[in-house]
Structure 1
């Protein structure tokens, strides 16, 4: 007989190796500090724009994990509008507006969690969605048992997981919500977020949308200790990058009835959050770097194409050799115009002919490029 974690006698009193978890939390707190410090180097407008990017990513990626593809322009417009960023008006898509509502509510409303709030998130998930693609019950707990099937071949599927029996859901969710609103140890939001995520998914209280609601709960908990409205990383984007490991961990943990130990899940989850923060920090650092480069090059009278060329080269996003013909294709200009751009930059000492040789002349940044940029940036 298949066993599930909710059948364990001590469910839902999870256990874990606290010493191992505390060790990784020390690293995560350091990475969080580095991210906050990097964000503080941005101007107010740049921070708001970066927050818009991260919330857009969170909204898009949480749905993409479940195979739902939202319109990025529509989501970004909705997010930006809510953050006060001037954007060209786009025709609003009802479902995407309501999904953005979920993310904003999770990130910015620090009021205690309630059953009605979770129900409103679930209704928002399916508002504007064709009725035939909705679960039979929306905005309320399921009234029948739910099975997660595995196996791709038609007729050869098998039950991979079974949610908590429907008659237990109200009691199970009341216990989870009480725990969510209880006082938690200082500095352990990642643990709380990971446990809530796993706990909710194991209950599987809805007929559909459980994964997206679980990730909204994760966002809600992680945002509780943030005093400002900035949001600088996306756990859903990182989960989507590590989707195989995510489902593997959830499947293994939810399918173990002989143990209530969830150390491996907490270690993976904390590591996932840390990796999300590191990617965000690198992105902010790149943003700052590009701003510095633009300011330095703008003072030298460079046009937008020439600035773009140098930034791509400096940031490593220009792959292969830089030739006149390749730059003409990337910049969508004539070969003659590309040649004039390159000659102008060579005249400024910002490009030199490559010594590597080859059939076509190629160009690269000079060895003293960083020194030159620093000198340009000096008052």
Structure 2
């Protein structure tokens, strides 16, 4: 007997052809995404730096996941909430509760992955995510379906009507089985990891199509996506990239999402949009990781080269390590931080010039003339042992 959704939502097919839905650009993006996931996963970082990066991207993920649903807290406020350092007025506490709930969902997934006891994606798991994201929040009305329960009423979001309520349980069960089958068929082959990443995007899309809950569908879908990306080998920081991408490009996100439910019901545009954002975000994470690694390596290198304990050398070390990568006008060197201000308080400009010239002679600093202003910057490029000269100057 046909189900209602087959007539009202013919785009919900549980079919996906790799050769039809993915063009050459999609495959290139998938390959780069997998390479960059492995790069980030294998990067050694000091524990305090790794923890800081983890908090940065957890905050970005929580901010994106809630802001796209209307939460008005800034990224800075979300970071403070993650650090348990943001008290809100009673009238705004629900905004903080939304953040707390999403963070609890992310942490649940991370803890499961670390303990290697992650629950497979099932209807119960998805209901649990919905219960988490709505915990402690006021329902829309007194007759609302409780969190963690599939809806039994019709729901419209914008101009889109969710799948028939009577089919929600069937559709979510079917979705979980279908995704497990896709991944099982690819297991051990060349397509295993590409399919694992695609399954995360498909799960997000199908939950948006089905809209199985009265509230919290978007947040629930992004937790599902995060779990599947984690299972695909994405490090904890990389799992937040897609949510951040959707939030930063909301108009494109909704445009591509809407196109999937219009004839000819192609998924190529949405998948390409998601993969482009995923790869761009991973590139930015690698740049940030490299910046953190460079800071540590540069600090050690400076102490190795400037290894004397004289007052002059100690002052030069502090000057060099305080310089930002882009450099500063020479006249501003004294005020880079309070410690330098104290060190140069009783020194004349000749001392500053001697210190800069000594660092330049060691090859650790570069002076540049820009009109009448002389700028100084650290020569970080000497740390990039295998980078081509063209890339260094581009």
Q: Same fold (TM over 0.5)?
A: yes
**Cα deviation 1:171-221 (Å, max 9, x = unaligned):** 222211222333512121122112111111011112221111111111111
**Cα deviation 1:119-145 (Å, max 9, x = unaligned):** 222222122334568992222122221
- Change in CA separation of 1:324 and 1:116 when aligned onto 2, cut-off 3 Å: same
Q: Which residue of 1 aligns with 2:149?
A: 140
Residue 280 in structure 1 maps to residue 280 in structure 2: no
- Contact 1:14 1:260 (8 Å CA) reproduced: no
- Contact 2:54 2:237 (8 Å CA) reproduced: yes
Q: 2:119 aligns with which of 96, 111, 115?
A: 111
- Contact 1:47 1:230 (8 Å CA) reproduced: no
Where 2:370 maps in the other structure, the secondary structure is: coil
Q: Which residue of 2 aligns with 1:181?
A: 180
Greater RCO (CA < 8 Å, at least 6 residues apart): 1
Corresponding pairs, count: 338
- Contact 1:60 1:72 (8 Å CA) reproduced: yes
- Change in CA separation of 1:140 and 1:229 when aligned onto 2, cut-off 3 Å: same
**Cα deviation 1:344-378 (Å, max 9, x = unaligned):** 344422556542223xx432338x6644998xxxx
Q: Which residue of 1 aligns with 2:31?
A: 29
Where 1:362 maps in the other structure, the secondary structure is: strand
Larger mean Cα displacement after TM superposition, 166-175 or 122-131? 122-131
- Contact 1:147 1:162 (8 Å CA) reproduced: yes
Residue 77 in structure 1 maps to residue 83 in structure 2: yes
Shift of 1:298: 4.3
- Contact 2:366 2:376 (8 Å CA) reproduced: yes
Q: 1:265 aligns with which of 254, 260, 270?
A: 270
Where 1:182 maps in the other structure, the secondary structure is: helix
- Change in CA separation of 1:127 and 1:103 when aligned onto 2, cut-off 3 Å: same
Residue 125 in structure 1 maps to residue 126 in structure 2: no
Where 1:364 maps in the other structure, the secondary structure is: strand
Shift of 1:62: 1.2
Shift of 1:250: 0.7
**Cα deviation 1:23-55 (Å, max 9, x = unaligned):** 433443334324423542323514444334323
CA distance in 2, matches of 1:199, 1:212: 14
Residue 363 in structure 1 maps to residue 363 in structure 2: no
CA distance in 2, matches of 1:345, 1:372: 20
- Change in CA separation of 1:43 and 1:167 when aligned onto 2, cut-off 3 Å: same
- Contact 1:51 1:232 (8 Å CA) reproduced: no
- Contact 1:5 1:259 (8 Å CA) reproduced: no
Shift of 1:327: 7.1
Where 2:132 maps in the other structure, the secondary structure is: helix
Q: Which residue of 1 aligns with 2:300?
A: 295
Shift of 1:10: 6.2
